[in-house]
Amino acid sequence: MTTKKNVWMAMEDDVTAQRLVEIARAHSKHALEHIGKDTCPERRKAIRAEIERLKAERELLLAYSFRQEDVI
């Protein structure tokens, strides 16, 4: 589960912070495309899958950052 503490700790690492920003941008871009009136159902399904993949990657990054702080 993501907490504010996890996010703040992750943002202290430049590489992780940059990847989190990239994930947020991609998620936003996909969400905007998904709600577009011209987006076909097959594409919407693909967008939902990609958003789920991005969420999973984000959660892994945050969990890894949290574990790294516990080790230090």
pLDDT in tens, 18-63: 999 999 999 999 999 999 999 999 999 999 999 999 999 999 988 8
> Residue 36's Cα: distance from chain center in Å?
21
The residue written with tokens 């080790």 in the block is: 71
State residue 67's pLDDT score.
65
pTM over 0.95: no
